[in-house]
């Protein structure tokens, strides 16, 4: 009996060590195989070049409204266990001659209630701090939240929709695939809680190929704001190109990766984070490779992951503007 117990515990220890080793290995650096996932993403459409002078006067501001702090290792494969990563929560304010709108809404006024809807493991692995909501910051600068008639969301996760209810006059624009996805979500998801209060405006990518995307939506038909599909994280995740008159170009990629290293290396989230947040892991890899190839072709393109505060810090923060 004694011998049996000894062997049993030895086996248990071996299994635990092997299991831990396997789990730890899911956090190690592992670049995505670009050749495997590029498909036709290295084919770029020849865009009808809009002369800079013909682009409308458009401005952009980052409105920071909160942050979550966690180990960098949870953010991308190869991230450090000793470094912390500040995930910025933000809305992007765009002022275009035809509309003033926001892209994502960040943490809203009721975020303390909203955070209760996320999985316990996620709440346990990150600490959250709210800052001033986008609506309150606009109000403080004399812009009424009621003047915002349009809010585009990169996708429907809680940290991107929390602030939507603070803009009661805004129609929420989202990709048609994302709207269909929302209908499949359990009632515990924040977007379902808010759904009754929001006016949905689903859109399709009805314009032709743009850069290495085979479909796009040129929002105002003037080349300034172009929406593109970035499926994977959710089925209807959306990226937004902003082409400013100064020649500055930005691409907002939502949660395709949480940090810019994801596109640069390129690499994905570690296994545990993927299981918590990504619906289609292969889709995420394909979309990451697409953005990676774009960055290689246009080194001056500013790619903005929704939660990379280091990049938010390099851009104009509200009320300052990028032109």
Interacting residues with Zn ion (CB under 5 A): 159, 255
User: For 211-216, which contacts have Cβ atoms below 8 Å and span 24 or more sequence positions?
Assistant: 211/44, 211/45, 211/47, 211/241, 211/294, 212/40, 212/41, 212/42, 212/43, 212/44, 212/45, 212/290, 212/293, 212/294, 213/45, 213/290, 214/40
Which residue, 218 or 255, has its beta carbon nearer to Zn ion?
A: 255
Residues 130, 99: Cα–Cα separation, whole Å: 28
Minimum CB separation of residue 158 from Zn ion in Å reads 8
Which residue, 255 or 308, has its beta carbon nearer to Zn ion?
A: 255
User: For 214-223, which contacts have Cβ atoms below 8 Å and span 24 or more sequence positions?
Assistant: 214/40, 220/56, 220/96, 220/98, 220/99, 222/50, 222/54, 222/55, 222/56, 223/48, 223/50, 223/54, 223/55
Which residue, 286 or 307, has its beta carbon nearer to Zn ion?
A: 307
Which residue, 104 or 165, has its beta carbon nearer to Zn ion?
A: 104
Which residue, 63 or 293, has its beta carbon nearer to Zn ion?
A: 63
Minimum CB separation of residue 189 from Zn ion in Å reads 13
Minimum CB separation of residue 258 from Zn ion in Å reads 7
Which residue, 234 or 243, has its beta carbon nearer to Zn ion?
A: 234
Minimum CB separation of residue 254 from Zn ion in Å reads 7
Minimum CB separation of residue 146 from Zn ion in Å reads 26
Pairing of strands 59-71, 84-96: antiparallel
Identify any residues that bridge with 278 across adjacent strands, giving them in sequence order. none
Minimum CB separation of residue 89 from Zn ion in Å reads 8
């Amino acid at each position: 009996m004694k011998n049996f117990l000894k062997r049993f515990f030895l086996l248990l220890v071996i299994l635990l060590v092997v299991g831990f080793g396997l789990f730890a290995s899911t956090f190690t650096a592992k670049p995505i195989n670009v050749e495997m996932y590029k498909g036709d993403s290295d084919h770029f459409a020849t865009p009808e070049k809009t002369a800079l002078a013909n682009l409308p006067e458009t401005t952009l501001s980052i409105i920071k409204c909160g942050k979550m702090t966690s180990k960098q290792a949870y953010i991308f494969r190869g991230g450090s266990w000793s470094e912390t990563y500040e995930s910025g929560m933000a809305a992007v304010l765009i002022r275009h001659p035809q509309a003033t709108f926001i892209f994502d809404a960040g943490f809203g006024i009721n975020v303390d209630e909203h955070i209760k809807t996320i999985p316990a493991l996620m709440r346990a692995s990150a600490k959250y701090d709210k800052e001033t909501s986008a609506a309150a910051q606009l109000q403080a600068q004399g812009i009424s939240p009621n003047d915002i008639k349009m809010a585009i969301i990169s996708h429907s996760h809680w940290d991107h929709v929390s602030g939507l209810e603070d803009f009661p006059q805004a129609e929420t624009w989202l990709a048609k695939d994302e709207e269909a996805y929302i209908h499949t979500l359990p009632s515990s998801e924040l977007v379902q809680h808010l759904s009754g209060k929001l006016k949905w405006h689903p859109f399709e990518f009805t314009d032709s190929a743009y850069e290495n995307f085979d479909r796009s939506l040129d929002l105002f038909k003037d080349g300034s704001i172009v929406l593109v599909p970035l499926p994977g994280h959710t089925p209807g995740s959306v990226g937004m190109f902003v082409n400013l008159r100064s020649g500055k170009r930005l691409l907002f990629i939502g949660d395709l990766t949480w940090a810019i290293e994801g596109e640069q290396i390129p690499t994905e989230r570690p296994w545990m984070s993927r299981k918590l947040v990504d619906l289609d892991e292969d889709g995420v890899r394909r979309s990451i490779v697409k953005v990676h190839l774009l960055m290689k072709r246009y080194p001056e393109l500013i790619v903005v992951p929704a939660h990379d505060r280091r990049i938010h810090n390099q851009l104009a923060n509200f009320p300052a503007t990028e032109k």
